[in-house]
Amino acid sequence: MINFNSIIILISFVFKYYNNTMSISIQKISKKSDYKKFVDFQFSLYKNENMWVPPIKDDEIKAMKADSNPSFVFCDAEFWIVIKDDKVAGRIGAIINNKYNEERNEKIGRFTRFECINDSEVANLLLSTAENWIKEKGMTGIMGPLGFNNLDHQGLLIEGFNFLPSIASEYHMPYYQKLIEDNNYSKEIDWVEFRLTVGERAQKKAERGAELIKKRYGISVIHFEKQEDLKPYIKTVFEILNNSFDILPFVSKFDENLSDFYASKYLQLLNPKFVKMVEKDGEVIGFIIGLPSLSIAMQKANGKLFPLGIVHIMKALKGKGIDTMDQMLTGVKKEFQSTGAAVILQAELQKAMADHDLKYIETTGMFETNDKAIGNWKNYEHIQHKRKRCFVKSL
């Protein structure tokens, strides 16, 4: 006679045994193949996500290695992947920016490049590994997601999952916020992003204001036609960044090597007609950088510049078939910010947009506390459509 109770007990035992033997482990990145797994995981995770904009794989790997990223001169970093049932199930990095800590008199580390399947066990293992490494280095807190500096990956997308991000922003899985918060992380600060419609009224108002400021303060505009024309000004751009951004959260100054690293990475992506600078008495005091949106082109490239990725990108840079401009960076030296130089830069960039039939602006993230910058968009038809968050946790 069949004993059903015994069968149920046996099935329950087998089920528990199976679950207990499902393998999960975490591995520190060390070999060339490990870096590839780390970067490729994002591509498999987001393969069905239409709003994800892939990075260039080679650039991602270079940013993680000491022999190619000058940030390692003043940063310590490690990276890990989680393997579950013989597959990569998650990844994370940990960074200690020693320069930032010295400048701010802090002892805090960063977690970076957090990605995982919707699995609390995987997320807990990733975050605890990063935390333990940072704690062993003598740090008393951790924040993130943040990169090596403010031109690296920063912030977790928590609103705006149905909008295509710019290449300077981020896209994440909606379940990440809960996974992070379940590990006792709390909000540190948010970035907000806007989509602006540049109508005729806003354009004319910007032009009138710009002309008045030019005359009042004796400010003139520098225009560019070729990428070669930009090269002599690259050092100046980073000098202005260091001058105008140094009071912002998470920011540390760019030295010459780091400036060269980012210049070589981004210069080839710039359309010089969308780069404007202003000068006063022969001194460059500010700049603005925009470019026709590369998001769709980067999706077509799918992580590779060659053989066809570069073709899609170069076509997009000319503005062909594009209606949106990504406003990447604006900087004005502190001592000239009260002049309204930023108004001139914005007006000049919008003229370039009109010449290329671009109607919309995607802003990059600005801190939610930056009321002055956010107030600049009141003259435009606009929506605040994305929000990213930095989390913090005491160790």
184: left (phi over 0), alpha (psi -120 to 50) or beta: left
- Reply yes or no on whether the pLDDT at 16 is more than 70: no
- Which one-letter DSSP state was computed for residue 167? T
Q: At what angle do helices 200-217 and 341-355 cross, to 10 degrees?
A: 140
What residue ranges do the domains of the chain occupy?
23-192, 199-358
d(CA 111, CA 66): 17
What are the CA-CA distances from residue 325 to residues 77, 225, 229, 275, 318 (Å)?
A: 34, 18, 21, 12, 11
Whether the Cβ atoms of residue 96 and residue 139 lie closer than 8 Å to each other: yes
Domains 23-192 and 199-358 share a fold: yes
Given a cut of 80, whether residue 12 has pLDDT beyond it is no
Mean per-residue pLDDT, 26-35 = 97
pLDDT in the model for residue 252: 86
pLDDT in tens, 269-322: 899 999 999 999 999 999 999 999 999 999 999 999 999 999 999 999 988 889
Bridge pairing between strands 324-332 and 360-363: parallel
Closest CA to 327 of 357, 293, 378: 293
Instruction: Give the CA distances from residue 222 to residues 266, 280, 285, 289, in Å, rounded to whole numbers and listed in that order.
Output: 20, 11, 11, 13
Q: Please name the residues in contact with 345: beta carbons below 8 A apart, sequence gap of 6 or more.
A: 276, 277, 278, 286, 287, 288, 330, 332
The third-level CATH classification (topology) of the domain covering 23-192 is Aminopeptidase (3.40.630)
Give residue 377's pLDDT.
86
Residue 26 clears pLDDT 60, i.e. is over it: yes
pLDDT range class, residue 5, cuts 50, 70, 90: low
pLDDT in tens, 199-246: 888 889 899 999 999 999 999 999 999 999 999 999 999 999 999 987
CATH number of 199-358: 3.40.630
Quote the pLDDT of residue 376. Answer: 85
Each residue of 167-209: pLDDT tens digit?
999 999 999 999 999 999 999 999 999 999 998 888 898 999 9
Pick the range with the lowest mean pLDDT from 1-15, 187-201, 202-216, 247-261.
1-15
